[in-house]
Structure 1
Amino acid sequence: CVSVDLPGGMTVLVSKEKDKDGKYSLEATVDKLELKGTSDKNNGSGTLEGEKTDKSKVKLTIADDLSQTKFEIFKEDGKTLVSKKVTLKDKSSTEEKFNEKGETSEKTIVRANGTRLEYTDIKSDGSGKAKEVLKDFTLEGTLAADGKTTLKVTEGTVVLSKNILKSGEITVALDDSDTTQATKKTGKWDSKTST
């Protein structure tokens, strides 16, 4: 077997020879669970499957160019998603957990730089709580049904809001409830220069 490293810190073992059906055998161990599969290619790409002790099904899909892995856990029926994690080569990832109806209930986006955007308590309309974990501090806020994330930091009378639209566009707003003009803080965001 040949060992191939994958995004997400996983490793897949690929057989050196094709089997009787002309396929390469794939094996991987993820969270102490053994997954097996076959592929037309010998580079480590393909689909591996396994079953947990609670009879839930696990599927690992590795992109043809090894640029991403998709790790999915299904209920016993093999169709209803419980969770899904997509990891890219740059170590960024998106992990989703699903409720009984198959709707997203939690979502965590980890960027290549290690910062995280976490969505929890997501309701059927798409709204919920939001939290951004940066290197030295955490911003908390909300996820609106239209996909807009609003994160806020309050210091005295000043509220700094970071808004992330569904498109990924980021804007920042500064609001000060101080009524004295001489001490009131102001700021304006220029999306062209991101300043």
Structure 2
Amino acid sequence: MKGEANTNGDGAAPGPVTVDLRLSVNGRRHPITVDTRETLLDTLRERMDLTGTKKGCDHGQCGACTVLVGGRRVKSCLTLTVTVDDRDITTVEGLSADGVPHPLQAAFIENDALQCGYCTPGQLCSAVGMLAEVADGWPSAVTPGLDGEVDLSKLADEEIRERMSGNLCRCGAYPGIVAAIGQVAR
């Protein structure tokens, strides 16, 4: 009957469908069983206790949940966990190495690129991914194509702003964010 919940014939709603995965997060392997409807954001925060990744809008609009999957930036609130089985995932907790901050983390502090800090983990992961995209010659609205070898030291502030436009900061720390990314690129 239209409008009624799908049932198993006994009147009960069907249970969740789960799958066993091997997640590689921040260089460590994690066997985990997840609901096939579960987002990577919820898996990281609620099940793996990696709370650096933030739940902002939960609609892919703010970028606070940005992580790296296979070195490319993704919004974890829009990514189903089942789609990242056996792929390398890096969260903000995985950017530093042996207690030494990633150069972007140090530059964010040096350039006062944060205020409340809620968006900072997503900004950092997005900046790491963005610099890799530029180095690989990916185009943007500012530069239609980056043929040949890319000189990151010539990355203009306009280009940085365009490429980081999917990450919002309610506090307005954009000048510091752009300066920090530019410092690392140069």
TM-score (norm 1): 0.25
Larger helix share, 1 or 2 = 2
> TM-score scaled to structure 2, two decimals?
0.26
Instruction: Flag the structure with larger Rg.
Output: 1
* Bigger RCO (CA 8 Å, 6+ sep): 2
